[in-house]
Chain A
Amino acid sequence: MCADTSPAGKDVLGFEPSRHISGDVIANLARRRMRWHRKYPRIEDAQHKSFTRPFKRFISKGVPHHLRPNVWRLSASRFAQKYNRKHEDVPILNGSALLQQARSNPHALTIDEDTLMQIKMDMPRTFPEHAEFKEGAHIYEELGHVLRVFAHLHPHIGYCQAMNFLAGVLLLTTRDAEATLSLLQCIVLVYMPDRYTSEMKVQDDVKILQRALNTPRYAHVRSALEDAGVDVTFFAVKWLLMLFVDALPSDQLLVLWDLFFLWGRRVLLQAALFLLHEHVEDLRARPDVNHVMDVLKDLGRTRALTPQAFAHGITQHGGGVVPKLV
């Protein structure tokens, strides 16, 4: 059967595992895989009309890793359609020809010097600890191609630091530059508009979080942060721009991305509230700025939740304070 394969001793994305995943979580994943297989034997053919309630519910209960490329593609194209009905059309361009060009002749693309330099500088600083992100490795080179083609296609955005991490996780999941390029465009243009330009609208998202934390429901979190002298900006900017890459262990990160592609940016805000709430005891343990930041920078030390539990936790937060933004 199609197991969630990974190199020996590594997690699904090939990173050093940050913690132990208990047997019942693993059993749960296997069960979901079976059920997906039975219910959607030909997921590859599914069009977005298949976004019926059961399909969405299936996604929120955890997507088998090998189906993610397809499920993310379906979620994203549905989301982009909805978005385009409300806003001016965002061009998600097909970059396969350009990717081919980038591979054979890097000078074929028109990209300004600064952008090229920045991409070159960030490639080795993406996942330096990961075997596939060493100079010369296939995925590493593809990262460069994807980022350069993106910059060529969307010169008003070019390249923003953080996009390297997003493209990196997309490449490790889809193992395909074309799929990565199209999902990266969806994230940057549709799901997170103006978050990666000098407008840095991520500040609006941080404000929503701050407002949420000022409600009585989050008084415990707020006081834990205040006692340690930690401002929401310290960690939230990074969480949001990196879609929690680096903060969450791979298994939980991918579940979050499943939901993000389905429901959009608000999932990130809800997840932030949920994670703060979940870790409040840990935060309170020592009202010290270093301690609190250490906890928030690496949320991998806590127990692994099943995808359902994680998704459920997320949906329990942000109601009434996090706008349903599309």
Chain B
Amino acid sequence: MATRKKVLLKVIILGDSGVGKTSLMNQYVNRKFSNQYKATIGADFLTKEVTVDDRLVTMQIWDTAGQERFQSLGVAFYRGADCCVLVFDVTVPRSFESLEAWRDEFLIQASPRDPEHFPFVVLGNKVDLKDNRAITENRAKSWCDEKGNIPYFETSAKEATKVETAFLTIARAALQQEKDEDIYHDFKDAVNLDDVPDKKQDGCGC
């Protein structure tokens, strides 16, 4: 292959309502924090061009609604994701306990080809609120280790703590995932697995 095709990486941010998904995405893409963000309905996304290990890639970052009842809409947004970011609020234990459910839900709805190795990254957000901290770094880390060594970062969207670093890791993980998918597809094309005559009948009653 002579030309490198333009790479688009799709990243999904999940987590309970209010943990700071919209704030994190905006801190990363626009480098600012505002307390003027509205609650997210459905989903929104922003894109950002970044260089990852000398490759220019476009990250399409999807920020989803956190309220549980919106979950059934997930399929449409999760499809084709290259990396999934799970966010909790270090001052709200419930949001940490939800991580497992978010992860499972993602795997079911996005149904990646190789769920065992699909890249996740966990962010414990709002670490600037030191006095209200409820989930320790150790506790979060051990959960991540249990789930197959998920990278973990302690962030503050408000003070821009670790946001850049976390998203670089996210981009790398997504890029790796993309490459793996590519290899799989090249392989599939090479052996022509799909080369079965189309059996579509006429007069199908649809």
Contacts and interface: CB of A to CB of B under 8 A. Distances in A.
A197 B40 CA distance: 16
A160 B72 CA distance: 14
Contacts of B37: 125, 128
A300 to B, nearest CB: 16
B26 to A, nearest CB: 13
B125 to A, nearest CB: 14
A309 interface: no
- Give the size category of A's interface with B: 20 to 34
B17 A161 contact: yes
Interface in A198-226: 198-200, 202-203
Given A161-B70, A203-B73, A124 B41 contact: no
B41 A238 contact: yes
Given A161-B65, A289-B47, A125 B39 contact: yes
A233 B45 CA distance: 13
B54 interface: no
Nearest to B76: A233
A37 to B, nearest CB: 37
Contact of B72 (A122, A124, A198): A198
Interface string B81-103: 00000000000000000000000
Nearest to A201: B72
A100 interface: no
Nearest to A233: B76
Interface in A83-138: 118, 121-122, 124-129
A238 B72 contact: no
A242 interface: yes
A305 interface: no
B69 interface: yes
A200 B35 CA distance: 28
- Give the size category of B's interface with A: 20 to 34
B68 A198 contact: yes
Contact of A234 (B17, B43, B47): B43
Given A124-B35, A161-B70, A289-B60, A241 B47 contact: no
A162 interface: yes
A290 to B, nearest CB: 6
B143 interface: no
Contact of B39 (A122, A231, A233): A122
A39 to B, nearest CB: 39
B42 A231 contact: no
Contacts of A242: 41
B76 A293 contact: no
A237 interface: yes
A164 interface: yes
B33 interface: no
A282 interface: no
A246 interface: yes
Given A118-B67, A289-B60, A290-B47, A126 B39 contact: yes
A52 B76 CA distance: 43
Nearest to B62: A234
A231 B73 CA distance: 13
B17 A238 contact: no
B201 interface: no
Contacts of B112: none
Interface in A236-267: 237-238, 241-242, 246
B72 A203 contact: yes
Given A198-B68, A198-B69, A200-B70, A121 B35 contact: no
B73 A161 contact: no
Given A118-B67, A233-B73, A289-B47, A129 B41 contact: no
B42 A241 contact: yes
B75 to A, nearest CB: 9
B93 to A, nearest CB: 13
Interface of B: 17-18, 35-43, 45, 47, 60, 65, 67-73, 76-77
30 contacts: A118-B67, A121-B17, A121-B39, A122-B39, A124-B35, A128-B35, A128-B36, A128-B37, A160-B67, A161-B17, A161-B39, A161-B40, A161-B65, A161-B70, A165-B41, A197-B69, A198-B68, A198-B71, A199-B72, A202-B73, A203-B73, A231-B76, A233-B76, A233-B77, A234-B43, A234-B45, A237-B41, A242-B41, A289-B47, A290-B47
Interface of A: 118, 121-122, 124-129, 160-162, 164-165, 196-200, 202-203, 231, 233-234, 237-238, 241-242, 246, 289-290, 293
Given A198-B69, A200-B69, 10 more contacts: A118-B17, A121-B17, A125-B39, A160-B67, A161-B67, A161-B70, A200-B72, A200-B73, A234-B77, A293-B45
